[in-house]
Amino acid sequence: MKYKIQTESAFGWADFKYSDDDGKTYNLDLYDTEEEARIELNSILSEFGEDDDYYRIVTEDVEEEYNLY
């Protein structure tokens, strides 16, 4: 089982995604362990000076509620 990071939006939880082609397509950002996802989330939070109130780590089978790009 893999893990992913979700962010809370006004419309529900959305998956973190990335694009390698300037936004033409987006891929789900998955991590092999919960710890790897936590390390990535902490890196993002420290870069932007945010806290983790609007983020969560879930297993890949948890569906997003809103498709946010």
Domain with 47 in it: 3-59
Residue 66 lies in a domain: no
Residue 69 has pLDDT above 80, yes or no: no
Rounded distance, CA 43 to CA 33, Å?
16
Residue 65 lies in a domain: no
Q: CA angle at residue 62 from 19 to 49, to 5 degrees?
A: 55
Q: What pLDDT is stored for residue 64 in this prediction? A: 96
**pTM: predicted TM-score of the whole model, two decimal places:** 0.88
Residue 64 lies in a domain: no
| 56-68 per-position pLDDT tens digit | 999 999 999 999 8
Asked whether 27 and 19 are in contact (CB, 8 A), the reply is yes
Number of folded domains that form the chain: 1
Give the Å distances, CA to CA, from 3 to 10, 21, 33, 64.
Answer: 23, 23, 6, 13
Q: What pLDDT is stored for residue 24 in this prediction? A: 93
Residue 24 lies in a domain: yes
- Per-residue confidence band for 52, with pLDDT thresholds at 50, 70 and 90: confident
Residue 67 lies in a domain: no
| 27-51 per-position pLDDT tens digit | 999 999 999 999 999 999 998 888 8
Q: Count Cα atoms within 13 angstroms, Cβ side, for 12.
A: 7
Residue 15 lies in a domain: yes
Residue 69 lies in a domain: no
